[in-house]
A = this chain, B = another copy of it.
Amino acid sequence: MANTDCVNVRVFSLNCWGIHYLSKHCSQRYQMIGEMLCKEQHDIVLLQEVWSEKDFLYLKVKLASTHPHSHYFKSGVIGSGLAIFAKHRIHDTFLYRYSLNGYPYMAHHGDWFGGKAVGMAILNIAGLTANVYVTHLHAEYSREKDSYLSHRVVQAWELQQFIRHTSTGADVVIVGGDLNMHPQDLGCRLLMSYTGLKDSYIETAKFDGCENGMTLIADNLFISKNELIPFEKGIRIDYILFKGSSTTKIYCDFMSTTKGSVPGHPLPYSDHEALTAELRLESHVPAQAGSDKTQDSPTEKLAELVDTLTEARTEVKVGLHCAERMRYTSARTGVMGLALLVLELAIAAVPCFALGAEQPFPRISFYLLAALCFAILLTTFLLYIFYTMELKSLQGAEDQMRLAVGSLQEKLRGFPVAQPHDAPQKSPEGQQPSALDSEE
């Protein structure tokens, strides 16, 4: 290949578990992480759960000479926790906040306050445009009864939308982060099949690390065995994904993970294992004018994508029904609170009309009951608003998925794209104007 340039890019990804006062040995671990990054000099470092901006600034100072370019993505109440450090100039950044991210009253899970998002940075690597994404999806607290599944599926859906729509002009796409999903989980399949991203653990020529590429392992000091049940040895939920383009090919030559405690230290870097992927970019001088870089997928891949999408729609619908029920419950509770208040006021009002009558119940109880009614009304009002927002987001994602399935099925049937100018009545959508309702 005479007209081919070759560039090696080392990518690092780690969930830093940086909750001060809650995560163990936080400062000490950041020191270890900083030293290791200084030494290893990866081209691109993608960090998650850097909850404190102070820790980001600490790393920024530490890595000033090895990684002069960096960005910290802010969102939500606490922040997105996402950070990127790079040897190469960051030309542009963009943040997409997921529309759903848990519940504010599940404060002990804390995801809502974190404002989970996907951050994008556009880098120039040896003349190639690299779109680099870092993200962290909603945690899975119970595999059996995962009440956040629909939220995570919507997050995966929005992640693939964001990557797909923003990476059209890129020569290479690199995604790193804690997806909180196993490789065969619905959200993972949705992401991979829609974007065409490849998993560096699957693609790598050589691998050195935990069994099955696991990133949350029982051998890690900070992991309690109970958390992993029913997976004794561990699970794989952190990823480095990549994709080339019509002008640039990308390969993974080597991939590694840490294996619990760091050699020479008593501690691991985090409760997650760190990933490193050595990618090789081969850029070709474009032979033909490729205006659209997304090549058409073969039929079986399309069919698979339709299946995955249908499954995702089902999951979102389950979440929808759940949110509808919760909203209904909060509305009903609110109405009961209101009825109680009205009843109380009515009873209290009786002595006013029937002068001389005895006060029906003591004043203290009266005020306590009134305060309770107000508290119920306020809480249910806030919950009602929250569930309405959740419903809208779920419905929005479901609508977009339905549209996408329709578009894919049309492609699959091999029909040419409909020309509504000539035959608008042929479109099935045109005949079902109330499809939004009928499909519920």
Interface set of A (CB-CB < 8 Å, partner B):
53, 57, 60-61, 64-66, 68-77, 79, 87-97, 99, 113, 115, 120, 124, 129, 161-162, 165-166, 168-169, 247, 286, 288-294, 363-364, 367-368, 371, 374, 378, 385, 388-389, 392-393, 395-396, 399-400, 403-404, 407, 417-418, 420-421, 424-425, 427, 429-431, 433-434, 436-437
Contact = CB atoms under 8 A, between A and B. Distances in A.
A141 to B, nearest CB: 22
Contact of A389 (B76, B389, B417): B76
A166 B437 CA distance: 30
Question: Nearest 5 CB-CB pairs, A to B?
Answer: A68-B430, A168-B169, A74-B396, A68-B427, A61-B433
Contacts of A363: 363-364
Contacts of A68: 420, 424-425, 427, 429-430
B64 A120 contact: no
Contact of A421 (B87, B286, B389): B87
26 contacts: A57-B437, A60-B436, A64-B433, A65-B424, A66-B424, A68-B424, A68-B427, A69-B430, A75-B393, A76-B392, A79-B392, A89-B420, A89-B427, A90-B403, A92-B403, A95-B99, A113-B385, A124-B417, A165-B165, A168-B169, A169-B292, A286-B289, A290-B291, A363-B364, A371-B371, A378-B378
A194 to B, nearest CB: 11
B424 A87 contact: yes
B77 A420 contact: no
Contact of A65 (B71, B97, B403, B430): B430
Contacts of A399: 71-72, 74, 93
B97 A97 contact: yes
A65 B425 contact: yes
A368 B368 CA distance: 9
A273 to B, nearest CB: 28
Given A91-B407, A424-B66, A437-B57, A99 B124 contact: no
A247 B290 CA distance: 12
A436 B94 contact: no
A257 to B, nearest CB: 26
B289 A395 contact: no
A421 B69 CA distance: 12
Contacts of A89: 407, 417-418, 420, 427
B57 A434 contact: yes
A96 B93 contact: no
A35 B286 CA distance: 50
Given A66-B424, A77-B389, A289-B290, 4 more contacts: A72-B436, A74-B393, A92-B407, A115-B392
A94 B161 contact: yes
Contacts of A166: 165-166, 168
